[in-house]
Structure 1
């Protein structure tokens, strides 16, 4: 009889210890459903001074951010997919001259507009991206078409434009993308350039890099998605491609962890594989989304090349938690959760 009692006590003790060990190795914050669905967007991060933004200008940016995120929120609220929410939300930002994407894209050194975009499905890990297109009105639509209707992940330039035409996407004359604001920015940048070609990335460029747009969302079905769209860097040359169309750098989504969209100095986001790294820290080190985002953006990224890794990310995890992390003075951003709570921010 004593042996039976000892056996029962030992079994209960073992099970209790095993349960405690299991709990200590899991991140409780990641196991709790915070929101049934949620969405977060960015309109670019950079070194922005509040003094340079009039109340009217701030109001214009906030109004467009709200318009965009409400489109995605409505899709999610009605039971739509995170992919649809991401694509349609980014369309609003691409059609606005306020942001460096689509209509508001910056100019290259040759005076052209070249667009990059990517999108990823957290359920299947399928992804699509386009780079260097000049005639596709909404690059994020092209990225999704590449993901869903081609055997490839990335298409570039003339080939990508031909594919876009074949898919019936809206094609426009390059003049559609012209804005006086972006042309003047190119002229200022050229005027400030060092005579040497190697000075492409000078202090002026560093101070003016913001405007890329992105979105991450969780839908009611538990699926994550993320997308990013950009016009790249003012005065870029030689067919330069940044992080926005690079899966794992500018965009990443995985239902097991999170969905991320990046914005900032693309070369460093590529070298740091920023979007994927946040997911990896969650998967392999069991960090929360907030912890992972902080580690990558505030510690890892600035350590590359003596603090040149500037920018930020927006992200949502599998339980609807949201992160908006940036190491610059500002990032255009907005969030909405399943309760309809809206947040919009510009400066730190």
Structure 2
């Protein structure tokens, strides 16, 4: 045997003995977030904590049941986010925050990792489930993103359920709007037509608007397909048609089979500038980082990014690698997050120290 052949065999043997074996891929898996922000035990009652944990468990059950039956990752994402858009705990759909003009303006996106087709909507005001509209944009239009009135016209052409804007109203979010507008010295708009009458009194204790209740899901189905989706009402008292990262493919949402899927939550301006979702996937694909390492690295970059006012980016991500292994990262005191894989037990966490 020639010396270089012996050396090559020896090197291969060394690699074989030192390589870390990959965990086996699950048949299916799902990871969900319900927003990140100032979420601390000291500021949350046990009753509210129980409600959030129950909501995250429901999301896992809804998505897990679809995936266990062999359903697609896209179907699981649409079902879970549609459910969360109905839950006033979250800043999406019914329970979304208000813009400065007193309307709810909803953003959503979805991406199919198999084909890298994507659909997104921004500033929707009447479509009951923005995630369903985003999927129709992906599958039934030649476009990726529609906004405002055009998005609503397309929704009607697709027969999607339409509701008055007051359908999305919650007293909690209205009180947050009034408080934020007073803080900024801006006028408070009239209470929305069709909203319930104002309460005699309202306790704002424990309601912290530095919570980003954006919802998102990444799923890996039994066919090995990854998809990701995100839905949000944006930020309280947003003005001038502001759009965050949630409907922007590559910033708030991204999916690519064999590589990863990502959904983000946080201060969207920073996530747009960093290109968070695509950056995470690129690090996995080209730098061969694990999902956890890529997520940690990019969220650290978000946290080091400043705006003209000197504020830094805050928020988090959920990530699924190309083999269905979930990860998450955030730079805030908490993030509503949960994951489940075939044959496994659900994991639901809220606070940073879990």
State whether TM-score is above 0.5. yes
Residue equivalent to 1:202? none
Question: In the aligned structure 2, how far is the partner of 1:255 from the partner of 1:145?
Answer: 21
**Structure 1 residues 177 and 281, CA, compared in 2 at 3 Å: closer, same or farther?**
same
1:285 is matched with 287
Alignment of 1:25-40 (within 5 A): 31-40=22-31
Higher helix share: 1
Counterpart in 2 of 1:300?
Answer: 301
Residue 256 of structure 1 and its aligned partner are, at CA, apart by 2.5
Task: Find the counterpart in structure 1 of residue 238 from structure 2.
Answer: 236
Say if 1:33 and 1:320, in contact at 8 Å, map to a contact too: no
Q: Distance in 2 between matches of 1:185 and 1:206?
A: 8
Matched with 1:309 is 313
2:210 corresponds to: 208
Using a 3 Å threshold, how does the CA distance of structure 1 residues 159 and 16 change in structure 2: closer, same or farther?
farther
Deviation at 1:14, TM superposition (A): 3.5
Select between 46-55 and 98-107 the one with higher mean Cα deviation.
Answer: 46-55
Distance 1:184 1:195, change over 3 A: closer
Q: Within 5 Å, which residues of 2 pair with 1:38-117?
A: 38-117=29-108
Aligned mates of 1:28, 1:130 — CA distance in 2: 42
Whether the 8 Å contact between 1:301 and 1:307 is mirrored in structure 2 is no
The CA deviation at 1:43 is 0.6
Q: Which of 327, 330, 338 is the matching residue for 2:342? A: 338
How far did residue 97 of structure 1 move? 0.8
Residue in structure 1 matched with residue 249 of structure 2 by the alignment: 247
Q: Is the 8 A contact 1:36 1:319 kept in 2?
A: no
1:222 aligns with 2:224: yes
Q: CA deviation at 1:194?
A: 5.3
Within 1, Cα distance between the matches of 2:278 and 2:10? 36
Q: CA deviation at 1:168?
A: 1.0
* Contact in 2 for aligned 1:73/1:85 (Cα 8 Å): yes
Residues 1:152 and 1:22: Cα distance change in structure 2 (over 3 Å): farther
Q: Which runs of 5+ in 1 are unaligned?
A: 197-204
Match of 2:203 in 1: none
Question: How far apart are 1:338 and its partner, in Å?
Answer: 1.0
Normalising by structure 1, what TM-score?
Answer: 0.90
Equivalent pairs counted in the alignment come to 330
Q: Is the 8 A contact 2:38 2:334 kept in 1?
A: yes
Q: Distance in 1 between matches of 2:83 and 2:267?
A: 23
**Does the residue aligned with 1:113 lie in a helix, a strand or coil?**
coil
Q: Does 1:323 align with 2:324?
A: no
Contact 1:120–1:128 (Cα < 8 Å) also in 2:
yes
Pick aligned residue for 1:124 from 97, 115, 128: 115
What secondary structure does 2:218 align onto? Answer: strand
Per-residue deviation at 1:257? Answer: 1.1
| Maintained 8 Å contact 2:254/2:278 | yes
Residues in 2 aligned to 1:115 and 1:22: alpha-carbon distance in whole angstroms: 51
How large is the Cα RMSD of the aligned pairs?
2.2
Structure 1 distance, partners of 2:27, 2:301, is 31
| Alpha-carbon separation, structure 2, partners of 1:195 and 1:36 | 52
Q: Deviations over 1:155-192 (max 9, x none)?
A: 00110111111111111111101111110000111121
Q: Secondary structure at the match of 1:102?
A: coil
CA distance in 2, matches of 1:163, 1:195: 34
- Counterpart contact for 2:258–2:323, Cα < 8 Å: no
- 2:270 is aligned with 1:268: yes
How far residue 13 of structure 1 moved from its aligned partner, in angstroms, is 4.2
